[in-house]
Amino acid sequence: MSRIGRLPIAVPQGVDVSISDQRTVKVKGPKGQLSQTLHPVVAAEYDAKARIIQIKVPSESSKQRAFQGLSRALVANAVEGVTKGFSKDMEIIGLGYNVKLQGKNLVLTLGYSRPVQLKIPEGITVTVEQPTNPARFTVTGIDKQLVGEFAATVRRLRPVEPYKGKGIKYKDETVRRKAGKAFAAQQ
């Protein structure tokens, strides 16, 4: 069983933390500001002298410990987001597939009859390193959930198929390839 919820969250220098009614944690750092509302069962305490945030629960039931671990992870992600930020590196593999930025839109050519345009949400930055095969781009931001959600939305437009490996994937993702019919007929 995990004891993550009991670990204190270290707050680096340059990050301001304010907790209102022991449930809403506001974190302000060099990259921006985030606010996290916690579950009613848990309470957050900030020790300004030691610069740590502690998440507490009234009892040790398994449900309350689960909410404690979840809340601790959410607050730790907020602290890390305002100091370092989060990013997802992505690749588009396929002949004729490409990516480009047009103002606040991400335009993807993925083999459909017309290019797909996605509006980039507020708080997210997309940078294109290489526009054509293999196209590479990075989704960055301070909110881990927003970065992951936008990257998953982009990936869902053309998931990688297992025969030729064409599609959108995360840079560190491995794709299990299948042999196909031609290989099976030779045996």
Identify the CATH number of the domain in which residue 27 sits: 3.90.930.12
Domain that holds residue 52: 4-83
User: Same domain for 93 and 59?
Assistant: no
User: Same domain for 94 and 18?
Assistant: no
User: Same domain for 13 and 78?
Assistant: yes
Peptide bond into 162 cis (omega under 30): no
Q: What's the pLDDT at 60?
A: 83
Q: Could you tell me if residue 178 is inside a domain?
A: no
Q: What's the pLDDT at 180?
A: 79
User: Same domain for 58 and 77?
Assistant: yes
Cβ neighbours, 10 Å, residue 9: 22
| Mean pLDDT score of the chain | 91
- Percent of the chain at pLDDT > 90 equals 79
User: Same domain for 73 and 98?
Assistant: no
Domain termination residue (choose one: 56, 83, 110):
83
Q: Give exposure, 81-109, as e/b (b: 16+ Cβ within 10 Å).
A: bbbebbebebbbbbeebbbeeeeeebebb
User: Same domain for 20 and 66?
Assistant: yes
User: Same domain for 95 and 142?
Assistant: yes
Which of 9-23, 117-131, 171-185 is predicted least confidently? 171-185
Q: Could you tell me if residue 145 is inside a domain?
A: yes
User: Same domain for 51 and 105?
Assistant: no
User: Same domain for 125 and 66?
Assistant: no
Check residue 21 and report its DSSP letter. T
pTM for the model stands at 0.88
Q: What is the mean pLDDT of residues 182-187?
A: 64
